Amino acid sequence: MAQEVVIERRFRGPPESGQGGYSCGLVAERIDGDCATVSLRKPPPLERALHVAASDSAVSLLDGDALVAEGHADALDLDVPEPVDLDAAQRASENPFWGEHIHPFPGCFGCGFERDQQEAVAIWMGAHDHSGLMAGVWTPSPDFAGDDGATTKLITWAALDCPTATGANLPMDGVSVLARLTCKLVEPIEPSVAHTVVAWPISDDGRKHVGGCAIHAPDGRLCAYSAGLWIELRDPATMGAQTKT
C-alpha cells in the first residue's frame, strides 16, 4: 500500500531539495535487511506530499507520476579503514574540507556550516593525514533516537551521505550531487555519544566519483559504512549552489 511522506525544509541539502542521504533513507527504512542501495532520479522536493510505493523487489519514492528515488536490498563489500582516534578525528574536524573551498550548500542537514549537531547531522570532515583519509566526529542528537533507544535508520542514512563526498575525488571547480547511496548498518549508534567518522576515495570515472564512509563507536566497533556515487553538475545554478563568482 502506498504511503505519503513530506521532506521538511529542516532536512534540506540544496536550498530547495532534500538532503540526499535523508531522502534515500526514506526509501531504505522501508526495505528489510541491514543493507540497501537507493538511487536518486531527480531532486527530492521539499514541503509537499510524496508517495512511497513498495513491491516485492523495490521501494520507490514518487512525486506524482515522477520517480524521485528507488531502492532495493543489496550487499556492500568494502575495505573499511581502521578507526581514527577520537582526538585525531576532532582535530581534523576543526580544519574542515569545506573550510578550504566554497561550500555549495551551507544549509545542508548533513554537513552545512549553518547547521549544528543539536538539530542536524552536521558532520564536518577534515584531512586526517596525507593518505587521503578524511575524519570527523558525530555525536547524534537524542532527538534522533528511535523506540529502541538507538539512532534511527533514517538519520543514520543521512549521516552516511555527505562524508562520502569529502572522501571522493570531487573536482573543486564545479559542484557535485549524490546520485546513489549504498549503506550497510552493522551495530546500533548510540545518541549523545561521540562517534568517529572516516571517509576515503573509491573510484573515478569522468564526471562520476565514488567515496566511502564509515562510522565507528568510541571503542572502535564498526557501526555502519557506505559508498556514495557523486555526479558533477553541468549547471550548478539549477540546484541553487554557491560557487565562485
The model's pLDDT over 135-175, given as tens digits with 9 standing for 90+, comes to 999 999 999 999 999 999 999 999 999 999 999 988 888 89
Q: Residue 245's pLDDT is what?
A: 52
Residue 143: what are its φ and ψ, rounded to 5°? Answer: -65, -15
CA distance 126 to 66: 37
Please give the tally of structural domains in the chain: 2
Are 179 and 129 in a shared domain? Answer: yes
Are 109 and 199 in a shared domain? Answer: yes
Amino acid letter for position 35: C
How big is the chain, counted in residues? 245
Residue 239: what are its φ and ψ, rounded to 5°? Answer: -105, 5
Are 40 and 90 in a shared domain? Answer: no
Are 166 and 49 in a shared domain? Answer: no
Which residue range forms the structural domain that includes residue 38? 3-73
Are 28 and 117 in a shared domain? Answer: no
Domain for residue 41, yes or no?
Answer: yes
Q: Residue 174's pLDDT is what?
A: 86
Residues 163, 136: contact at Cβ < 8 Å? yes
Are 201 and 93 in a shared domain? Answer: yes
Reading the chain (245 residues) residue by residue, the pLDDT tens digits are 469 999 999 999 999 999 999 999 999 999 999 999 999 999 999 999 999 999 888 999 999 999 999 999 999 999 999 999 999 999 999 988 877 778 899 999 999 999 999 999 999 999 997 777 999 999 999 999 999 999 999 999 999 999 999 999 888 888 999 999 999 999 999 999 999 999 999 999 999 999 999 999 999 999 999 999 999 998 888 888 887 65
Measuring CA to CA, which residue among 116, 81, 106 is closest to residue 201? Answer: 81
Domain for residue 140, yes or no?
Answer: yes
Domain for residue 245, yes or no?
Answer: no
Grid coordinates given for 61? 519514492
Q: What is the CATH number of the domain that holds 19?
A: 3.10.129.10
> pTM score, two decimals?
0.96
Are 105 and 214 in a shared domain? Answer: yes
SS3 68: strand
Are 131 and 65 in a shared domain? Answer: no
Last residue of a domain, one of 73, 108, 128: 73
Residues 56, 171: contact at Cβ < 8 Å? no
